[in-house]
Amino acid sequence: MGSFKSSVFILVLHLLEGSLSNSLIQLNNNGYEGIVIAIDPNVPEDETLIQHIKDMVTQASPYLFEATEKRFYFKNVAILIPETWKTKPEYVRPKLETLKNADVLVAESNPPGNDEPYTEQMGNCGEKGERIHFTPDFIAGKKLPQYGPQGRAFVHEWAHLRWGVFDEYNNDQKFYLSNGKNKAVRCSAAITGKNAVNKCQGGSCVTTPCRPNRATGLYGKECEFIPDKEQMEKASIMFSQSINSVVSFCTEKNHNKEAPNLQNQKCNLRSTWEVIRDSEDFKITTPMTTQPPKPTFSLLQIGQRIVCLVLDKSGSMTSDNRLKRLNQAGRLFLLQTVEQGSWVGMVTFDSAAYVRSELVQINSGTERDALTKRLPTAASGGTSICTGLRSAFTVIKKKYPTDGSEIVLLTDGEDNTISACFNEVKQSGAIIHTVALGPSAAPELEELSKMTGGLQTYASDEAQNNGLMDAFGALSSGNGAVFQRSIQLESRGLTLQNNEWMNGTVIVDSTVGNDTLFLITWTAQSPQILLLDPSGKRQDSFTVDTNTKMAYLQIPGTAKVGIWNYSLQASSQTLTLTVTSRASSTTLPPVTVTSKMTKDTVKFPSPMVVYAKIHQGALPILRASVTALIESVNGKTFTLVLLDNGAGADATKDDGIYSRYFTAYDTNGRYSVKVWALGGVNMARQKKIPQQNGAMYIPGWIENGEIKWNPPRPEINKDDLQGKQVCFSRTSSGGSFVASNVPNAPIPDLFPPCRITDLKAKIQGDKLINLTWTAPGDDYDHGRAYKYIIGISTNILDLRDKFNESFQVNTTDLIPKEANSEEVFVFKPESITFENGTDLFIAIQAVDKVNLKSEISNIAQVSLFIPPQTPPETPSPSLPCPDININSTIPGIHILKIMWKWIGELHLSVALG
């Protein structure tokens, strides 16, 4: 098992060898090059923002250098400027840099007022993150009291992005019990401060002490740890880089292993510096002996999209209806996917290349229709991919430099001469998207995508899986604003017999509806088509092309919101339906689904993880139904339900990123991935800002012994959310990957249960411990484990490092449930003295039926707290009432004096008592 885990870890660490990250970052002589910081197209033009970005990186570089013991610094950064901003002589056209592959995105706060910097992290400990997010106000330094200097926060986020470490604070649990005492979740524990509550009402606030819950002993959620402004402690950047004295990461010497934070939970109690030290970056560098130079910057402005289709028309394209399917998918791209204003050219190739169209700007349907007529209709000859690419470069150069242009390369043929033009491809500055069609496409094809940051896709000859349509539908601009992009609502196919019907529904939600296209294809005869809009009105205006065997309907204006019903009837043939649309508004972000895998190459028995991110703007969409369809090179398909439960392959619960392990390999070769997402009545938007992996919001500071509070961390007001429509349907291509070392059937069981990452423990009743966790499977997060081993210890490191020697709980009656079910187990520690103030640490290991064991779970902690007994109330002594004759005629002033005298005696009596 040890060697297997090591091989998985090594695979994770490689950025460019198998990783699906499109980042252009490279580490060269200790300096990070190729960093892309993009300004979102929706950010209003503000030249000072560019200078603020430069200042942030320049400030961050020496801080990073010292924090990493003189190993790393920022060498050069490209700032990507929106097309809508004014052009300047110093702005040049990007090459491979795009909005889609940017490492840092500067975008308007969503919701307004939320300027929290954060990093998307889909993976687990040690795996690189996706992207850093900043807002213009944060970059401009308007949030200094809450997050500290921008350069320091950038280093905090960089550690998330580059090395896969996690935060050392916890907004959801700010305190924990250790030896019966409340301690703030922090790292290191030497950070000093006070615990306090800020109570505000009617515009005025008062500071009060934190009070423990009488039942649990823990401080309430309103209690905050307020750090001293002046500190001596140097660690840790992943707790709060905004503290002036903090200039380093926690090491194994000062790391707070007991703190219930994500770093401990995800990284098996390892400090952030230990994780960084295990990274590939660390292994290939040595400390510098001189100070690094300041970062340099290049200013790149996004321009018009330039695309050239390079399409295979060799003799093998006559097989399995490939040429017809190429025409159908090409029409989808030209009629719908490519954005208005783009320049498009076309080249076909066999053993030679043929220019079918010079660059034409898409201004209307006229240009789109003209280009569709240039798609190839006959196939013959051999396959020379480099010839096609060189011809495309020539076509582009007639009008524009090839820098930043795109080539969509489709081929089904073997060509062992592709490497002959690798250098030309690298020097061109063009991005190449590859579409491998059928089982025999050249195995080197994907290298063209890897070296240029392009999308790689694969489509089998199984037409009903609609893979070629999905591949071309995924080719929207990497630089366009979200409202310009084509969004795929549906992608279905079915082989029908004996006048059978293909029935279904498509949901057009309120965030889409512009430029909506219904496209139907068939393999023999035109089917009967019935399409009803949400009002029940039949839509009959399909354009039918019997030669290409397709029909399409463009809905004028904005399509009606609601459920569209379709019914297609045919016999002895395969039908497909593809529906695409665009955002209904330039201000309301549409619901989007993006999908990907962990790697683009995988060696058995390493698992693959499939991810689908579902968001509306920055807000995650929860409780959607998400399914991945994975198709192998031999046409076999596997269905995978993706989950956002924070267990198994899913790193974080309720962040709108759904994921699952894939282990059902059946052959070597290419696999394609498609994701279906459906939001229904159970779907929800996140109603509050979840803790994201990012710099901590400091609630306040202690200066000269006095607490100075910052404004409270903003929360989303659900009434501010636009668009209440909750039903939607989406499909998304996740590209493709290549599997190797898959043995012949029967495939051996080499997959252990996945690690349990959400173990929680609490005390209940008479020293009983209640455990909850999400069940792993027999193979990672699939199936059912055979048994559990539960270990307990009073020493957290002994439990981690000597789990097999720990006290073991009797689990005879604990039968594992199906993967992803909730497990609950209650036990009473028998082997350990469990007294008031005792800290107990618990971990679980799952075992499958062939005795493969999972990694040890995250370690849960309980601290036995016995509430102090409440002393019995003693009745106050009764005091004699003053002898007052109520019928007397004493003046009222005398009565008042007597009452005050009596009240004074009462106070004296209570005080003395």
pLDDT in tens, 504-519: 999 999 999 999 999 9
Distance CA 736, CA 465 (A): 14
Instruction: Specify the pLDDT at position 682.
Output: 55
Q: Region 142-160: what's the mean pLDDT?
A: 96
Q: Region 705-720: what's the mean pLDDT?
A: 76
- How far from chain centre, in Å, is Cα 726? 21
Is pLDDT above 70 for 823? yes
Contact 849, 786 (CB under 8 A): yes
Q: Cis link prior to 188 (omega < 30° from 0)? A: yes
Integer distance in angstroms from the first to the last C-alpha of the chain?
71
Distance CA 610, CA 630 (A): 9
Instruction: Specify the pLDDT at position 4.
Output: 31
Distance CA 837, CA 868 (A): 12
Residue type, 353: A
Q: How far is CA 560 from CA 80, 352, 370, 535, in A?
A: 37, 47, 29, 8
Q: Region 726-746: what's the mean pLDDT?
A: 94
Q: How far is CA 580 from CA 368, 429, 517, 544, 693, in A?
A: 16, 30, 5, 18, 33
- Using a 10 angstrom Cβ sphere, with 0-12 exposed, 13-18 middle and 19 or more buried, the burial of residue 843 is buried
Distance CA 525, CA 574 (A): 10
Is pLDDT above 90 for 389? yes
Q: Cis link prior to 776 (omega < 30° from 0)? A: no
The predicted model scores a pTM of 0.90
Under the banding of pLDDT at 50, 70 and 90, the label for residue 681 is low
Domain 481-586 coded CATH 2.60.120.380: yes
Of the residues 116, 127, 157, 490, which is catalytic? Answer: 157
Q: Region 5-18: what's the mean pLDDT?
A: 31
3-state secondary structure of 719: helix
The H or E element that residue 224 is part of is strand 223-227
Bridging pattern class, strands 104-106 and 35-39: parallel
Residue type, 753: P
Q: Region 535-555: what's the mean pLDDT?
A: 96
Contacts of 633 (CB under 8 A, 6+ apart): 439, 458, 460, 667, 668, 669, 670, 671
Instruction: Specify the pLDDT at position 912.
Output: 29
Is pLDDT above 70 for 451? yes
CATH fold group of domain 760-864: Immunoglobulin-like (2.60.40)
Distance CA 886, CA 531 (A): 93
Tell me which residue has tokens 């499939």: 610
Is pLDDT above 70 for 726? no
Q: Region 775-803: what's the mean pLDDT?
A: 97
Share of the chain above pLDDT 70, in %: 90
Instruction: Specify the pLDDT at position 687.
Output: 53
Distance CA 237, CA 163 (A): 14
Q: Region 521-547: what's the mean pLDDT?
A: 96
- Using a 10 angstrom Cβ sphere, with 0-12 exposed, 13-18 middle and 19 or more buried, the burial of residue 228 is middle
Tell me which residue has tokens 């051996």: 748
- Using a 10 angstrom Cβ sphere, with 0-12 exposed, 13-18 middle and 19 or more buried, the burial of residue 828 is exposed
- How far from chain centre, in Å, is Cα 608? 16
Contact 599, 456 (CB under 8 A): no
Share of the chain above pLDDT 90, in %: 83
Is pLDDT above 60 for 787? yes
pLDDT in tens, 553-590: 999 999 999 999 999 999 999 999 999 999 999 988 99
Under the banding of pLDDT at 50, 70 and 90, the label for residue 685 is low
Instruction: Specify the pLDDT at position 684.
Output: 58
Instruction: Specify the pLDDT at position 895.
Output: 32
Angle in degrees, 0-180, between the axes of helices 150-163 and 47-67, rounded to the nearest 10: 70
CATH no. for 304-453: 3.40.50.410
Q: Region 328-345: what's the mean pLDDT?
A: 97
Number of CB atoms found within 10 A of residue 61's CB: 24
Under the banding of pLDDT at 50, 70 and 90, the label for residue 908 is very low
DSSP string covering 508-539: E-TTEEEEEEEEEEESSSPPEEEEE-TTS-B-
Distance CA 79, CA 37 (A): 5
Check if 168 is active-site: no
Lowest model confidence (mean pLDDT) among 353-367, 424-438, 476-490, 714-728: 714-728
- Strands of 204-209's sheet, edge to edge? 204-209, 193-201, 223-227
Under the banding of pLDDT at 50, 70 and 90, the label for residue 721 is very low
- Strands of 822-827's sheet, edge to edge? 760-764, 768-774, 822-827
Closest CA to 431 of 456, 409, 449: 449
Under the banding of pLDDT at 50, 70 and 90, the label for residue 689 is low
Contact 504, 494 (CB under 8 A): no
Is pLDDT above 80 for 724? no
Under the banding of pLDDT at 50, 70 and 90, the label for residue 869 is low
3-state secondary structure of 120: strand
Instruction: Specify the pLDDT at position 540.
Output: 92
Contact 613, 657 (CB under 8 A): yes
Contact 393, 423 (CB under 8 A): no
Q: How far is CA 681 from CA 561, 659, 684, in A?
A: 16, 21, 8
Q: Region 538-561: what's the mean pLDDT?
A: 96
Is pLDDT above 60 for 802? yes
Distance CA 894, CA 29 (A): 95
Is pLDDT above 80 for 906? no
- Which of 377-394 are b and which e, b meaning 16 or more Cβ less than 10 Å from the residue's Cβ? eebebebbbbbbbbbbbb
3-state secondary structure of 50: helix
pLDDT in tens, 282-292: 999 999 999 99
Closest CA to 509 of 719, 676, 723, 731: 723
Under the banding of pLDDT at 50, 70 and 90, the label for residue 830 is confident
- Which of 868-895 are b and which e, b meaning 16 or more Cβ less than 10 Å from the residue's Cβ? eeeeeeeeeeeeeeeeeeeeeeeeeeee
Distance CA 855, CA 840 (A): 20
Contacts of 29 (CB under 8 A, 6+ apart): none
The H or E element that residue 434 is part of is strand 431-437
3-state secondary structure of 374: coil
pLDDT in tens, 754-771: 999 999 999 987 789 999
Under the banding of pLDDT at 50, 70 and 90, the label for residue 456 is very high
Q: Region 629-656: what's the mean pLDDT?
A: 94
Q: Region 633-640: what's the mean pLDDT?
A: 93
Number of CB atoms found within 10 A of residue 352's CB: 12
Contact 602, 14 (CB under 8 A): no
Residue type, 103: D
Average pLDDT, the chain: 90
Distance CA 540, CA 13 (A): 54
Is pLDDT above 60 for 364? yes
So where are the chain's domains? 26-168+276-301, 304-453, 481-586, 608-687+723-740, 760-864
Q: Bigger pLDDT: 786 or 6?
A: 786
Contact 782, 605 (CB under 8 A): no
Is pLDDT above 70 for 631? yes
- Strands of 35-39's sheet, edge to edge? 118-120, 131-134, 104-106, 35-39, 76-81, 296-301
Instruction: Specify the pLDDT at position 466.
Output: 97
Contact 739, 665 (CB under 8 A): yes
Distance CA 579, CA 519 (A): 6
**What letter would DSSP give residue 321?**
G
Under the banding of pLDDT at 50, 70 and 90, the label for residue 613 is very high
